Amino acid sequence: MSLELNWRGEPLPRGRHNLSQDTVRASQRARLVRAMLECVGSAGYDATTVPEVVATARVSRNAFYEFFADKTDCFLAACDEIGEELLGELLELAGESDWVQAMREGAGRYLRWWQERPTIASAYLVSLPMAGERALRQRERQYAAFEAVFAALGARARAEQPELGPLSELVPRMLVLAITELVAQEVRAGRTEELEQLSEELALVAIRMLADDATAERVGRQGKARAKARRASPVKPAGARRAPSRRARS
């Protein structure tokens, strides 16, 4: 089967060059990982083959097996890198002014990350379970890292709002599972380009679970007020000219 992909690996210069062996190997591995995601995202895990991956990466088959034991090994390495990159994006929000703002910004950033990477979203969110037991065990490990993010938000909420009761240990787990499956459903339905539209509602649901109804309702009212203010004060197009005054026209 021949795949029609928008991405192909860019090989290093042939012949003599000044690149170190480490640089060459890092480039080969990065291209193989990206090619695996592109192939799986386009054709599905079962239909993807090592020959297609190496052809897309423009790396030799021998080089593939220097890095990875088999197709699954490469795919799981690729999924690990995705999880680490996305987690890093979310951890940057620890410096937000309050936990609610961190949650709202995090929801938008999470959805936008997948929206901007539709092929990778399909590979990770839809095809990962097809890779078998090893993939499911790995996903559980990644889930635990994201659960820790929600647990930290819950702890911060209680530091900033001491009136809140204890956070159930189930809440971070439920949020990770529910949000992951929600986004996967949207990807399967072909609505990846619309993911960011879910940001505000998703954030409010998470805030309700991490804190309480009153906090979510307050944040919801604030969001509606901001939206109303934006509608009342439309931004003028760049370069728009102010209409001349009556005196200037006379």
Q: In whole angstroms, what is the distance from residue 175 CA to residue 48 CA?
A: 31
- State the distance between the two ends of the chain, measured CA to CA, in whole angstroms: 73
Q: Where are the alpha helices (DSSP H) in 45-169?
A: 50-57, 61-67, 71-91, 99-115, 118-121, 133-160
Range 229-234 contact pairs with CB under 8 angstroms and sequence separation of 24 or more? none
Choices 1.10.3470, 3.40.710, 1.10.575, 1.10.357: CATH for 75-229: 1.10.357
The two three-digit tokens of residue 120, written as one number: 């990778």
DSSP code of residue 18: S
Which SS3 state, helix, strand or coil, does residue 15 take?
coil
In the chain, list all ranges with CATH 1.10.357.
Answer: 75-229
Q: In whole angstroms, what is the distance from residue 223 CA to residue 46 CA?
A: 44
CB atoms within 10 A of CB 52: 22
The two three-digit tokens of residue 9, written as one number: 């690996």
The CA-atom distances, in angstroms, between 94 and each of 83, 103, 149, 153, 242 are 18, 10, 10, 9, 42
Q: What is the pLDDT along the chain (250 residues), one digit of tens a residue?
A: 445 466 676 776 565 567 788 888 999 999 999 999 999 999 999 999 999 999 999 999 999 999 999 999 999 999 999 999 999 999 999 889 899 999 999 999 999 999 999 999 999 999 999 999 999 999 999 999 999 999 999 999 999 999 999 999 999 999 999 999 999 999 999 999 999 999 999 999 999 999 999 999 999 998 888 878 888 876 555 555 555 544 444 4
Q: In whole angstroms, what is the distance from residue 39 CA to residue 122 CA?
A: 10
pTM listed for this prediction: 0.84
Q: If one looks up domain 22-72 in CATH, what number appears?
A: 1.10.10.60
Q: In whole angstroms, what is the distance from residue 34 CA to residue 57 CA?
A: 8
In the chain, list all ranges with CATH 1.10.10.60.
Answer: 22-72
